Amino acid sequence: MKKNLNIKFEEAVRLLVNHFPISDETSRKPVLFHDIRVGVYLYENGYSKDIVLAGVLHDAIEWFEISEQILRDKFREDVVKLILASTKDYTIEDKEEKTKELIKRCARNGQDALIVKTADIIDSFKWYSSQDNKGELQYCMRNANAIFKYKPDNFNDKIFKELKKWQIKFSNLIR
């Protein structure tokens, strides 16, 4: 399975590279590198093939404008389901409501979807803390708080313990 996963991981990265607008100094964060880091984090922590691939591709629709159909043609439906669960609904303008809807949708789609979103937020915590970007760290806190509010009690994966550490570390940012 590892060889197959490595091949699919590379396929996912190539897909992103072929569709990605280039980041520059005005970019909030280098999204391509972020997506690769999320996938590597999930890979190195032994998550399933679907979770790892969804981690790499979690921004595919949102930032790369890759269609659902392209994703379905190249990856399994289970992967696409996880990507869709992690994709923001930009028709919702209010930040709090957008976050609430996204996290609730991940939780409804199961622990795997919430694991992908949690890995995304952990990486964002790491990046924005390295940049001392308090505004984006507040965004991370909003997501972490929503994850712990809407996460079903039976979702007990180790990733939630790691997120809790980041939430505690930046609890002073809550307004």
Q: How far apart are CA 99 and CA 89, in angstroms?
A: 9
Predicted structure pTM score: 0.94
Q: How far apart are CA 160 and CA 156, in angstroms?
A: 7
Query: Which top CATH class is 2-173?
Result: mainly alpha
Each domain of the chain, given as residue ranges in start order, spans 2-173
pLDDT, one tens digit per residue, over 6-18 is 999 999 999 999 9
pLDDT, one tens digit per residue, over 97-107 is 999 999 999 99
Alpha helices in the chain (DSSP H): 2-19, 31-44, 49-57, 68-74, 77-85, 95-108, 111-130, 134-150, 158-169
Compute the Cα dihedral for 11, 122, 149, 59 and give only its sign. negative
